[in-house]
Structure formats: structure tokens, C-alpha cells
Chains A and B, each alone.
Chain A
Amino acid sequence: MEKLEYKVTGKVKNYERRFNFYVALSTVGTGVFTGLAVLLRQVLLIETGILLFTTALTILAVNLVLDLTVKSHSNTWVFASPPREIVKRVDRVGKEICEHRPSLLEGDNPVSRLVSKIFKKSWAHFAIILPSFVIFYVVMVVGLIGYQKLGPAGISLVNFASDISWLFWFPLLWLLTWLANGRAWCQTCPFSGQAEWVHRLHPWKKMSKKLGLNLRWPIKYSTIFYSAVGFSVLTWMEEFYNIGGPGVPELTSVVLIYIGALELFISLLFQDRTFCRTICPLSAPLAITTTISPLGTFRAKNPEVCKSCTTKDCMRGNDKFHGCPWFASPGSKENSPMCGLASDCYKACPHDNIDWQVKRFPWLSDLTGGKKRFDIALSVTLLTGVVLFQFLNALPFYSMVDTWLSKVTGWASFAQLLVPGLSKFGYSTQGYPNPLDYFAINVIPILAVLLAAKFEERRGVPLKWGFTSISYALIPIFAASILVRNLPKFLGGSPLILNEILDPTGAGMHNSDIYSTFWGSFLHSLGHDPLNATAAWWVLLVMEAVMAFGIYLGIRASNMLAETDGISKWTYYAVVLGFGITFMLVTYWMSSPASPTAPFYNPYLGNLLYNPLQATPPF
């Protein structure tokens, strides 16, 4: 009997083992590759090596933690199940919220008519991806061949590659939270686009076969937590090489090539968009921001139609159209943040039962419901930690701690091995950011929310459920804070790319010349100072306003969650206000003129109190 049992479960065990074996092999392989690159002193190879190594290591580490903590072979751990009495309440509230919403595909207005017509075309998605595909290939090339030198503040302001990526595209990702939804980027993403074209063997038509092995990601490891950890690790990389400064353009190119190539590789191994959903570093942040966006995703109009549907063309596809590549069937509301807006379901549905709705203010309806994901909660807290780091790193005391730690641990001298040849572009490092303090700051929100959940546990709320629900209230704080941190770049720098459209490589330009260009002088006249990596004083007001809006949404979310989830309103408030006010204060302090002669000067935090007219919000 035992032998039989071993044989039967062995099927799954072996699959997991084999998966882990190959990941471990890749980790060792890419580690060795990185080591060789260090010996060869080739910075681009080192960067590639670290990117690949950390990716493999992330997957391996998450798997290892799961193996140690989860005994079964299923992934039921990704959901936090609510206590029984809450289930009923959630059910009732969910029904009350259900109401008519405006839709992008239905309705008798020109926009709906156009959108619904365009998305019925099989080439629609291809046409949406193509422009960004072209732009990002230009970016990859000009990043490698263009002007590389950094300006006096250590950032590059004349190369199209790094500027469009970090002054425009990255802030835009977070602006999308309230312009449309986070996944709107996934709809446009060129990396997944090219991988999908190859995987499907045609840019838009349905072929009878798909290229690659079409393996299934092991069930036990089916979670988007990899993505959040990946985002954290990638942010560390970005800070270390100052890629997003915007820094040396060729480093940006390498990151983009790495994402594109890895996506292509994974799509040839695993099913459809396993990479996009599970591993892509932007998947978790964008899934999280999508839950609070005004624009919804593709969902079923009438669930009863889906219930009686037996063909499930939206998931499986049919002979003319593909099924949902994101494994996010439109039939379920809970999957809405996983919808990558690929529109395949809309084309494939034989019952014309797919809708694309616009949510009602305050756009938080997706947060309620008895089905809350623990891995999303973990991701929210971890990502808030990443943003917290990006705020704290602008304060003087962080530099002191970091420099001291890097010196004590020897990281400062080790770091020099990873950046050979970058000094000729004007880049130098003291080891910032030290991985120890970086990851310590990353886990602060996890610990804070855990503390709040522990407090609620004494009132009889299960710990996992409490943690998950409280983390959900932090989603608006995360969305607002990451946008706030990127606003100075967006408002104070992004028009520079208009200069570079005609001269993308930055040939014949110097960073210090930008104020003689049209858009450079325009920015300067508005009060921005991109050359010194600061924005105009009024950007501080915009930042504080966005952050205040985030806190407002966080409070609204707290009220909604407190009504259904059995947790005290004040616990949510404590966490939301705690982080919200911290972000507002740090925004104010990091924008301080840092002048020791001004009153209220503190060597650790800058000017504690100053006239906002003197603010210099840093890039």
C-alpha cells in the first residue's frame, strides 16, 4: 500500500524535484557566468549575469521556502480563507455593491462603438503592441551605441534609451493606476508581444500548433509572489547601478534585452503567458494597482451564460481564436487583476458575453469579497517596503548608515568588482545600496502589518486572514507612494525625450548643454533643474496631493474592509495612516534644500521645517 502511494504521489514529487533541479542548475550556471564576467571585467556581462542569477535565485529561494513551510503539493496557501461568519457577510455586501457600470464595449456612444469594433479584429492586439515594440527596439539599440556619459548629478539626460525608460515610461506605469489600469501596460508590452508571436507562430492568426514545450508551472509553486520578490531584487539592481537615475544608457539596454530574452525563453518552455503572470517583475505591482484602477478588465457580462457554457472558448480558444493566455478567465471577478487585456476572450466568446467595464469612484470594489489572496497581500507589503526604501534613501541618515554598513561589511570594496569600466562614464559607487539594509527596509511593512494582525489575533481574527485583509488596505498607499516617488522625474524630466526624438543617440550633445535645447530651457523656465536632478518646488505640492489622495483612498478601503472582514476599523487606520503619513513627511523632508544654515536643520533628516517655495524634490 505504501509502495503504491509512493508511486502515485511520486508523479508530482518528481515533477517538482525536476523543476527545482533545473532552477538550481540555472542558479549555479548563471552564478558561474557572473563570476567569469567579473574576472573578465566586462560590466555588461556582469550585469547580465547578476540579472539572470538573481532571477534564478529568486525562484529557487521562493520554492525552497515553500517546500519548508507547505507540506501538501497544492497551492491552497495562496488564499486566506475567511472565518465562517465573515463568509456570509461578504456574500451579502458583494451583492449590494453589484450595480450597473459604464462599459467600454457596450453602449451607444462613439467610444464604445469604436473600441468594441477594433477589439473584434484579430490584429487589434498586434497593432497595439507594434508601436511600443518598435520604440523598445530603438531603445535597446541606441542604449548600446549612443552617448553614455553622465552629467554632474550622475544622471544621463541626452540618450533616448535611458530617458524614455526612466523619465517617462516608468513613472507612466504608476500614473496608469488612475489613468486607466496597471495592466494597460501589459496590453502594450513589447517583450511579451514578441514572445507570444513566436510562441503562437503568427503575430495575430491562430495556428494549429504552439511552439515550445508548453510545460505546466508546478501547482505548488503557482503564485505571483515570485514577481514581487523579483521586483524587489530588480530595484536593488537598478539602485546599485543607478540604472533608473536615469544612469548609463547601455545598462538600461541590458535590462530590457534581459527581460525580452528571458520572456522568449520561458515562453518556449512553459504555457502561454506563464512568464508574464508568474515571474515578470512588473506582474505583481501592476496586478495590485489594477485592483484599485478606474478601468476594469475584460469580465463576463452575465455569469449565468458562463455557467451553462460548455465550450469555454474564452479559456481554451477555438479554431479561429486563442483562449486567454493569462489563465484569467473573464468568468471570475476575483481574477480581474490577472487579466492582461489581451482581448482574446472577447474575440473567442461565442455568446458575446464579454464586457470591459469602468468602475465607479472610489474604484475599490475589487478589494471586497471573501476571496483574498495571501500571496498578493505578501506582495503588497513587500512592494510597499521597496517604495519605502526609495523614500528613505533620499534622507541623509540613510546614506550615513549605508556607507557605514558597506564599509564594515566590506561590501564597498566588493562592489568595485561589479562595476569595472563604468567610472569612465562618470559613475562611481560606495556600494550603495548595501543589500543588508536594503532588504531590511523592504521587510518593514511586512513586520508592521504582521504586528497589526497579531494584535487582531487576540480578538479572535485568524492571523493569516488578518494579515491579508490589512495588507489589502495598503494597496492605495503603495500605488500612490510609488507614483509620488516618480513624479519629479516625470514632471521635471520627461519632456527632454522630445529633444531626443530627432537625435536618439545623443550624438554631439553634452549633458551640461541641455538648457540650451528647446525642451531643456522650457523645463528650466518652469523651475525644474534636471541637470542637478531636482524638480521645481511646486512638484512637492503635487506629490503631497497625490499622497493625500492615496491616504484618502486607503481610509475608504479601510472602511469597506472593516465592514466585511471582521477586523477593527482602527487597526486598518493605524497601518494606512502610519505609512501614509510617513510617506508624506519623508516626501517633505527629502525635498528640503538641505541647507545647514536654515532653521530647524537636522543632520539626519534635512530641514525639518522649511518654506515649500525652497523645495527641491529629488529625481
Chain B
Amino acid sequence: MDPVVLIDVDRCVGCYMCQRACALAQCIEINEVTRFAEVVRPEDCTGCMACERACPYDCIVVLSDETQVPVRAKVTLSRVRRYSSKRLVTGDPGWTVKTGAEEMMREGVGSLIIMNGTKIITETDVLEAWIAGKQDKPLIAFSKDAVTIEGKATVEEALRIMLERGIGHLPVLERGKLAGIISLRDVLRASSVTSPILGESIIPINPREKIEKYAIQVPVVGRVTNRELYYLLKERGLKATVVKDRELIGLISIRDLTKALGTGRSLDDMIEPRWVNPVSSQEQISRAIAIMMEHNIRHLPVIHGEEIRMLSIKEIAKHAVWIKAM
């Protein structure tokens, strides 16, 4: 059964002690208008009785099965709403594709939510429109129906949806309204603090493993045009690849292509790669992750003997930090 929280509204004075005590679940709050304590998210209540103990006037009685507290706490802690980003980058359906690309570039994101969370347009959609020469058409024509998730769903459910659909972002709804967005990265971050539930498990990554285990073979490009690069990436199903120009080694990704569109470059202009110091494939994966975190990049060129390979954050996630049914 769900815990029942009885609040004596005759004596409750809205002193915030229960709100303070409910630090983990954050489900009891003082209503700003009525100034009463109120259970705002009953599904999150773990029945831990912290509020009952905190109330200076004994106004609260919690009826719960105490053996269920740890189980409920695990569920509460893995709710999507706790990890989703409140910062939403939304677009106007009437914008042109080019304006959309500018907005993505300015905000540093890979997708725009439009139509109150029902539609989403990603970098790939924007680039498709560009290649087809329709960068001045409205965004809405290239958007897709958004796959959304409820705020009270668990991050494991979010991860499952992302894997099944092969997508990286889910708009989060609270009571039918757009409330945030959760990305694959958010889910992975969440997985490091939650424990698996429902008989599934997360296999943690071993930080001492060699980079070579995760680095993938990618085509190394030289000086090519934006159009050539796009066709190459699309053909190989890649989000990024390695660039080698004489001694310089760098990266080029579809985000760079979106940026090119946003800054008004043409499809026939040369690509503008980001020059990065590569790492050796014999180094530990932890070092690579540290570099990627520090520079806020998703890919890294890897020197593997004579060859140049690429390490992508998605590969690490796909291969190592997965949830598997036991």
C-alpha cells in the first residue's frame, strides 16, 4: 500500500520543518497560499516518517509499512524527474531550418522541442533538409513526433525507450505538460547513483580497461566539403569522424555541420574541423573520459599503431554501461 500521511491542519502552521525533513523524497511541501503542509507527490513518499518526527506540534502521522521504506526509496530515487534537465530549448514551428540551426548552435544543443513537446527536430533532420536544399522551409515540415516520458517513470524505463528507439533525448511530461528533457547522458549519470531494480543490473565500467577496447574504426577524411562529409557520415551511420590534415589530427561531427549551416556556410564550403590532441589506444579508459569531460566533447581521436581510430561516448555507453535482464 502507499503510505498515508495525515496532517492536522488545525495545528499546522506551515513551519517548513517537515519540508526540510523530507530531504530525500521531497514530497511534502508547504503550500504557499494555504500555508499548510501538503503531500505534493504521494507516489514519492517512502513512508520513512521523517516528517512525523520533525513536526514540532505532532501534527503529522504517517501510516506506512516500514519494511517497504528502502524499496520505495529506491524507486523514488530513480524517477526521471530527478535527473531531467529543467532547461528546455524550444523552437517555433514557423522558424526556417536555418534559424533552427542557429538556435541549436547558440544554445549548444542537438535538438529543438516544438509544439509543446509533441514534436522534436534533431540535427540530423536539419542536415537532411539542408542537403535537400530546403533550409528556408519551416521547421515543422522536418520534425518528428516526439517520444516522451512521464516524470514519475524511472531512469531504467527511460534508458529502455532510448535503446529501443535509438534516440538520445526524451521530453519529460508532468501531468501532461512539458517539464524538462532527459538525455542519455543524464540517464548514465543517474545510473551511477541509483541501484538497479526489478531484477536488472548495470554492469559498471572498469576504469582500468584500455581505450582500444572501445575505440572504433572510422574513415579518416582530409580536406572535403560539407556535402561530401555529410554523405560519408550518413553512409557509415556515424555522428562524427576523424580528420587528418598533414600533421594535424582533429574531429568533425554533425554538430559542426549544423554549426556551419547556422553560421551561413554553404554545402560546398570546406569542413572546419576541431583540432584535438589524440590519445594512445594503450591508455586507460578513465583518462580518455577525463579528457572528454574536461573539454566537453563526445569524441576523441585515438592513435592505434599506424591507424587512427575514434572513441565515442556513445560507444562506451553501449558497450559497458548497459542494463541487462538477469
**Residues of chain A at the chain B interface (Cβ within 8 Å):** 1, 4-5, 8-9, 11-12, 72-76, 78-79, 81, 87, 90-91, 216, 219, 222-224, 271, 306-307, 310, 312, 315-316, 323, 327-329, 331-332, 334-335, 370-371, 375
Contacts and interface: CB of A to CB of B under 8 A. Distances in A.
A4 B3 CA distance: 11
Contacts of A8: 1, 4, 63-65
B173 to A, nearest CB: 21
B15 A310 contact: no
Interface of B: 1, 4, 6-11, 13-17, 20, 33-36, 56-59, 61, 63-65
Q: Which of B10, B16, B35, B56 has the most CB of A within 10 A?
A: B10
Nearest to A373: B10
B48 to A, nearest CB: 14
A316 B61 CA distance: 18
B33 A87 contact: yes
Interface centre among B14, B17, B65 (most CB of A within 10 A): B14
B33 A223 contact: no
Contact of B9 (A1, A75, A331, A370): A75
A316 B56 contact: yes
Contacts of B6: 12, 72-74, 219
B58 A331 contact: no
Nearest to B32: A91
- The 9 A-B pairs with the shortest beta carbon distances in the complex, nearest first, are A315-B56, A332-B13, A329-B13, A222-B10, A74-B6, A327-B11, A219-B8, A5-B1, A312-B56
Given A74-B8, A76-B7, 11 more contacts: A4-B1, A5-B1, A78-B9, A78-B10, A219-B6, A219-B7, A219-B8, A224-B10, A315-B57, A332-B14, A332-B35
Given A12-B63, A219-B8, A223-B10, A370 B58 contact: no
B13 A335 contact: yes
From A12, A72, A78, A219, name the one whose CB has the most chain B CB atoms within 10 angstroms: A219
Nearest to B3: A8
B61 A90 contact: no
B10 A370 contact: no
B14 to A, nearest CB: 6
A371 B172 CA distance: 33
Nearest to B57: A327
A334 B33 CA distance: 11
B205 to A, nearest CB: 40
19 contacts: A4-B65, A8-B1, A8-B63, A9-B63, A12-B63, A75-B10, A79-B36, A81-B34, A91-B33, A219-B6, A219-B7, A222-B10, A223-B10, A310-B20, A312-B56, A315-B57, A331-B15, A335-B13, A371-B34
A323 B55 CA distance: 13
A269 B319 CA distance: 66
A41 B271 CA distance: 111
Contacts of A329: 13, 15, 56-57
B33, B34, B35: residue with the most chain A Cβ atoms closer than 10 Å = B33
Main secondary structure on B side of the interface with A: loop
Nearest to A8: B63
A308 B1 CA distance: 34
B308 to A, nearest CB: 57
A371 B57 contact: no
Contact of A216 (B35, B36, B58): B58
A5 B7 CA distance: 19
A370 B33 contact: yes
B35 A371 contact: yes
Contacts of A327: 11, 57
Contacts of B64: 8
Contacts of B14: 331-332
Contacts of A271: 58
A332 B11 CA distance: 11
Contacts of B7: 74, 76, 219
Nearest to A13: B63
Contact of B13 (A5, A73, A216, A328): A328
A1 B15 CA distance: 35
B108 to A, nearest CB: 36
A84 B221 CA distance: 62
B33 A90 contact: yes
Contacts of A75: 8-10
A323 B20 CA distance: 20
Nearest to A81: B34
Contacts of A370: 33-34
B7 to A, nearest CB: 6
Nearest to B68: A4
B58 to A, nearest CB: 5
Nearest to B30: A307
A473 to B, nearest CB: 21
Contact of B1 (A1, A310, A323): A1
A306 B10 CA distance: 20
A12 B5 CA distance: 11
Contacts of B17: 310, 312
Nearest to B5: A74
Contacts of B56: 312, 315-316, 323, 329
Nearest to B20: A310
Contacts of B1: 1, 4-5, 8
Contacts of B15: 306, 312, 315, 329, 331-332
A476 B9 CA distance: 25
B64 to A, nearest CB: 6
Contact of A334 (B4, B35, B58): B35
Nearest to B4: A9
A76 B12 CA distance: 11
A164 B9 CA distance: 38
Contacts of A375: 10
B35 A74 contact: no
A8 B68 CA distance: 12
Contacts of B9: 74-76, 78-79
A79 to B, nearest CB: 5
Nearest to A214: B58
A222 B11 contact: yes
A90 B59 CA distance: 26
Contacts of A1: 1
Contacts of B58: 216, 271
A87 B11 CA distance: 21
Nearest to B60: A219
B53 to A, nearest CB: 12
Contacts of A328: 13
B93 to A, nearest CB: 30
A321 to B, nearest CB: 14
A312 B58 CA distance: 13
Contacts of A332: 13-15, 35
A576 B59 CA distance: 36
Nearest to A330: B13
B11 to A, nearest CB: 4
A331 B9 CA distance: 15
B61 A79 contact: no
A424 to B, nearest CB: 47
B45 to A, nearest CB: 13
Contacts of B35: 332, 334, 371
